[in-house]
Structure 1
Amino acid sequence: MQDKCRPNYGSCVDGRRSVPIELLDVAGLVPGAHQGKGLGNKFLDDLRHADALIHVVDASGRTNAEGENTRGYDPSQDIAWLRSEIVQWIKGNLWERWGSIKRRHTAVKATAVDTLQQQFSGYGSTSSVVARTLDKLAIKEPLETWSEETVDRVVAAFTDEKFPTVIALNKIDDSDAYTNLMKITKQQDPNLVVACSAKAELFLRKMAKQGYIRYTEGTEFVDTREDLIADGDPDGGGLKELDEKNKATIEEYRDMILFRYGSTGVVQVLSKAAEVLGLVPVFPGVYGYLKMLLLAQAKMIFYRSK
């Protein structure tokens, strides 16, 4: 397989090609971040450089909005207030200068797209992003007559267009997570919600690296020495023998995560973020190489609620 997978960019393992993306892991926020509380200003400044936002949510409900240990917290609140913080930050920056923005807009006879792009360029926006935002809203009134309510709608739509967000519901290995997972999936676009367990992924990768299991990342497939011997390989694939504790952990992850969800979800989170940006890699010839370069340039904010 390796001779069929010789990437000029990225890597190839057992015939499976991987393309790198840039991730920025930032600290969790607290409500009021747009007013400078906590690390709000730092996070919101980092957001300017992102193409997509991966919001990692504690699906177990064992951590509240302030990052304190608890039980029974509703993690759907984190999703709502994080988006609200971003919207309020952008709205605040725009609205405090709205009077002068309108006057200049009228004086130079600019289009709404041109005027808004001047204001949104600091968030990494482009004219096409602004144009798509306004097209979706289908606002007929000229910009100089917009009410604050209209500005609110524009900022909210721009936020969704500029910062598409994938919700990574982490800790699905926790007994309390399933109920929250079902609730959030109904509230949000299910195509943007991914159930995942970073804990399980870390464990499986560690075991594979140390030679105890054969693990295909992004799938449900995990083979132990005993599995391979049972399948007819007397050498067990050269894998080491697992102790009882690690055997039990693997069986637990198989039952609770891999067989139920199809994977730990970690690879799927990154793939989904690339998908919402329309970055689907295709690899034939030079066109495939160019597509890989485009994908590699995507920047994603990896944000944890807590």
Structure 2
Amino acid sequence: MKGHDIKALHTLLTGLKISEADIERTAKGLGLSLERINWSEEDIAKFSQEIRRKSMPIVIAANKIDMSNANENYMKLKEEFPDRVVMPTYSDGELALRKAAAKHLISYVPGDVSFGIINADERQKAALLRIKQTMDAYHGTGVQQVINEAVFGLLGLVVIYPVSDENKFSDNFGNVLPDAIFVKKGTTALQFAEKIHTELAKSFIYAVDAKKKIRIGKDHVLNDGDIIRIVSGAR
């Protein structure tokens, strides 16, 4: 890598979907020159760690938080990785709750901090109450919270709902909110149209914010939870 420039470095990293902008920001933050790379082994190690941290963010799921020594291990992880998001999780409990909800034994939606018992026998109630003790201590099972943090926090995504009928919030077949599309924060109406289909973007005329019942232009930045109809000349 020595003696090369940013173009050569980008070629090496392009398979990891790391852009030249990512490389430039990371090198600048570390005070490393990209004109003709002549980094030390220590510089290379620092750059590698930082580019991975920025381009491939990680959230640590501290699972099995219901075990006897789990909280101690959880605190150790937070101390060892102060720059990472570390979240306590209880995946076995989450799985049990989802199965119980499917059988209508409890009322529970993934991400809820608790649940309500509907129709469980004494043995089932005892097992559910053990799960509840852990949930009370950590404000839920943490499973949905980890997913939310990864998607909306670290990756910076928002959810947009495309529709064909802005009054009924439906597609052409009457299905209400049939799709949910993840896009990066800052995505414009035109970029969203391209995400759906390139032809929609090519013949984009305007979009409609279905909740506010207003027209929006191609450069309008969409927000999380927006319901959008794309109006185009495509047939």
Give the Å deviation of 1:189. Answer: 3.3
* Larger displacement relative to structure 2 (159-168 or 203-212): 159-168
Residue type of the partner of 2:64?
Answer: K
Residue type of the partner of 1:271?
Answer: N
Q: Is residue 184 from structure 1 mapped to residue 73 from structure 2 by the alignment?
A: no
Q: Once superposed, which parts of structure 1, at least 4 consecutive aligned residues long, lie more than 6 Å away?
A: none
Match of 1:219 in 2: 112
Match of 1:271 in 2: 148
Work out the CA distance in 2 between the residues paired with 1:182 and 1:146. 36
1:126 equivalent among 13, 19, 22: 19
Conserved in 1, the CA contact under 8 Å of 2:58 and 2:150?
yes
Conserved in 2, the CA contact under 8 Å of 1:220 and 1:254?
no
1:161 equivalent among 30, 50, 54: 54
Residue type of the partner of 2:183?
Answer: L
Work out the CA distance in 1 between the residues paired with 2:34 and 2:157. 34
Structure 1 residues 115 and 279: CA distance shift in structure 2, 3 A: same
Q: Is residue 281 from structure 1 mapped to residue 180 from structure 2 by the alignment?
A: no
Conserved in 1, the CA contact under 8 Å of 2:26 and 2:47?
yes
Alignment of 1:86-165 (within 5 A): 98=1, 102=3, 105=4, 112-140=5-33, 142-165=35-58
Q: Is residue 292 from structure 1 mapped to residue 184 from structure 2 by the alignment?
A: no
1:199 equivalent among 92, 109, 123: 92
| Contiguous gaps of at least 5 residues in structure 1 | 1-97, 106-111, 226-240, 298-306
Residue type of the partner of 1:267?
Answer: Q
TM-score (norm 1): 0.50
Match of 1:81 in 2: none
Work out the CA distance in 2 between the residues paired with 1:116 and 1:141. 9
Residue type of the partner of 1:292?
Answer: I
The structure carrying a bigger helix percent of its residues is: 1
Q: Which has the higher contact order (CA 8 A, sep 6+)?
A: 1
Work out the CA distance in 1 between the residues paired with 2:139 and 2:84. 16
TM-score (norm 2): 0.65
Residue type of the partner of 2:120?
Answer: L
Work out the CA distance in 2 between the residues paired with 1:187 and 1:147. 26
Q: Deviations over 1:258-291 (max 9, x none)?
A: 11111101111111111101113366989xx999
What SS is found at the alignment partner of 1:146? coil
Match of 2:128 in 1: 250
Conserved in 2, the CA contact under 8 Å of 1:198 and 1:266?
yes
| Contiguous gaps of at least 5 residues in structure 2 | 165-176, 185-194, 196-235
Give the Å deviation of 1:245. Answer: 1.8
Give the Å deviation of 1:192. Answer: 0.8
Match of 2:199 in 1: none
> How big is the alpha-carbon RMSD for the aligned residues of Structure 1 and Structure 2?
2.7
Give the Å deviation of 1:160. Answer: 1.0
Match of 2:191 in 1: none
